[in-house]
Amino acid sequence: MSTIHDIRSSHFKSDAREAIANVELRGALARAQEQSNSKRDRAIQRIADDWESMRDQASAIKTWTLENLGEQLELFERNAVKNGIQVHWAEDAENACRLVNEICADAEARSVIKSKSMVTEEIGLNHTLEAAGLEVVESDLGEWIVQIAGETPSHIVAPAIHHTRESIHRLFEETLGRKIPTDAESMTMVAREVLRQAFLRADVGITGVNYLVAETGSFLVLENEGNQRLTTSLPRVHIAVSGIEKIVPRLADLDLFLRMIGRSGTGQVVTTYQNLFCGPRRSPDEDGPRDMHMVLVDNGRTKLLASEKRRQTLQCIRCGACLNICPVYRQIGGHAYGSVYPGPIGSIFTPQVAGLHKASQLPFASSLCGACKDVCPVKIDIPGILLDLREEIAEHGEGQRDQETELKMKRESPAFRRWSSLMQSPRKYRMSGALVRTMALIASHTSLFDRFIPPLSAWRSTRSVPRPEGGSFRARWRRRTEANR
C-alpha cells in the first residue's frame, strides 16, 4: 500500500498553531523566502523573454511523457540494463525499502552514505536500514543537520530551512560534545571532518534522481556541495532511488530542464554539480562503484495517471519554488504540514499518494492565492488540483476524512446546502441578508454571542468584526430609482 513515512498531516491544525507561535521560525522563514525569491527573480530576468516559452516547453515534455509513461519507463529499463545498471521495480514504500535492504545485505554492507533524496524520505528508507543494523549517514549538509537533530526535512530543497545558525551551532556542540567556533565556515569545516570519515567507511552510496533519461538509460542527479560525487565514487555500490515520474524522453531535454530547475529553486543559473550516471565501473576504469542499482518507486503514483488534471501533480521537478513563494508556508514552515512534501506541491501530492484519510486537511490549508501556479516551471495548476481535491473530500469523501475535516464538514455541508437554497431565491436572499447585517452590527459591538456562532468567534480571534455600513445596496438603488421617477 502506498504511504508516506511518518505522516502526521491529520495534526495540521495544532501543528500549525504551534508553528505560528514560534517567532524565531517565522523570522527565519520570511528571511529565507525574501532571499530565494529575489535570487529567483534576478536569475529569470536574465532570460526574461524566453522564460514563458521555456515553461510551455517543459510542461509539454512532462505532459507527453506522463501520457506515455509505461513505454518510456520500459525504454529506460532496456537501455539502463545495456549500460550495466541493475533495475528494480518497487510497487510501494515497503517494497522499495526491502529491495534496498536486500542489495545492502548482498553487498555485506555495514555502513551507508547518502546524498540528498526526497523519495528516500518519502519511503522512510533510513529508518528501515537502521533497523537492519546499518549505519546511515546523510552527507548533504542540510540533511545531516536534520538527521542529527532527529527531525524530518522542512523544505524539499533546503531541508534545514527552519534552523538558524545559532540553533545549528547548539546542535553541533551537543552532538559532538565539544566547543565549536560560531562562524559558518568553521561549522562547515567541522561537518566536513565528520562526514569525510563517514565517506571513507561507507560500503554503499545512496542517491535520489532528478532525471531518468529514457533514450540513453542514464540518469542525472544535481547537487551543490560535491558530497554526491563522493557518495557515488567512493563506496563499492551505488543505489539510486527514483520516483517513476522523474523521466524525460531525450538527453537533449536536459538542456531545458537544467536551465530551469536552478533558476526556479535556488536562483542559480545552473546547479553547481550536474552528475550524469551512465553505469558502473567498467574496464579500463580505475574507480567508481562496481555495482549500480536503480530502484524505480511507484508508491501510489500510477493512481494519479487516471485523471488528466491530477496527473499534472507528477510533472513536479521538486524545485521548491512553490514553497518559496507560498504565503501560508511563510507563516508555518514545512513541519506543520506533517509530510516530507510540504507547501503547495505537498498539499496536492501527499493526500493523493498517502490517501485522503491521512491528509484531508491539506487541500484546505490554502488561501488559493495562486502564487504557486505562477512560479511553477512546469505549470502545474496547483490551485485547480486543490479545488478538485476539496470537491472530492467535501462531496464524496465520507469515511475518508480525518477527524478535524469530518467535524468541519458536519458544520459546513448543511450550511452550504442552506446557503445554496437562499442564494437561489432573491426574496430569501434579501431576508437573510438583513439578518446577517443585524447580527454583524451587534457582533461589531459585543462578543457575547460568539460562542453560538463558531465562524464568528474564529474570525474575531485575530480580527475585529466588520461593521456593515447600514442598509443594502439594493435598497439604496430602489430609493434612487423611485426618486428619479
Partner 1 sequence: MRVQLFVTCLVDQFRPSVGEATVEILERCGCTVEFDDRQTCCGQPAFNSGHHEEAKAVVARTIDLLAEWLDEGGDAIVCPSGSCSAMIAHSSELLADDPVRSEKARRVAERTWELTQFLIDEMKIDDLESSWKGTITLHDACHGLRDLGIRDQPRRLLAKVKGLEVKECASCDRCCGFGGTFSVNYPLISGAMADDKIEEIDASGVDAVVSGDVSCLMQLEGRLQATNSRVKALHLAQLLVERDAGS
17 vs 250, beta carbon nearer partner 1: 17
Question: In the complex, which residues of this chain contact partner 1 (CB under 8 A)?
Answer: 13, 16-17, 20, 26, 30, 327-328, 330-332, 363-371, 373-374, 387, 389-395, 408, 412-413, 416-417, 419-420, 422-424, 426, 429, 433, 436-437, 440, 454-455, 458-459, 461-466, 468-469, 471-478
Please state the closest distance from residue 178 (CB atom) to partner 1, in A.
39
Cell 560525487 identifies what position? 229
* Cα 415 to Cα 163, 252, 425, 449, distances in angstroms: 42, 54, 16, 18
82 vs 479, beta carbon nearer partner 1: 479
From CA 237, how far away is CA 206, in angstroms rounded?
8
Check whether the bond before 284 is cis (ω within 30° of 0).
yes
255 vs 391, beta carbon nearer partner 1: 391
H or E element in which residue 45 lies: helix 23-45
Buried b (16+ CB within 10 A) or exposed e, 363-380: bbbbeeeebbbebbbbbb
Which residue type is seen at 224? Answer: N
Please state the closest distance from residue 335 (CB atom) to partner 1, in A.
14
215 vs 388, beta carbon nearer partner 1: 388
Please state the closest distance from residue 460 (CB atom) to partner 1, in A.
8
- Cβ–Cβ < 8 Å for 344, 329: yes
94 vs 388, beta carbon nearer partner 1: 388
150 vs 470, beta carbon nearer partner 1: 470
* Cα 17 to Cα 11, 20, 152, 322, 336, distances in angstroms: 10, 5, 19, 22, 8
* Cα 156 to Cα 92, 153, 223, 266, 324, distances in angstroms: 21, 7, 13, 11, 10
H or E element in which residue 212 lies: strand 211-213
Please state the closest distance from residue 409 (CB atom) to partner 1, in A.
9
The phi and psi torsions of 55 (rounded to 5 degrees) equal -60, -40
Please state the closest distance from residue 20 (CB atom) to partner 1, in A.
5
208 vs 343, beta carbon nearer partner 1: 343
Please state the closest distance from residue 164 (CB atom) to partner 1, in A.
19
Please state the closest distance from residue 177 (CB atom) to partner 1, in A.
38
Please state the closest distance from residue 19 (CB atom) to partner 1, in A.
9
C-alpha cell at 414: 448543511
**For the chain, what is the radius of gyration of the CA atoms?**
26
235 vs 351, beta carbon nearer partner 1: 351
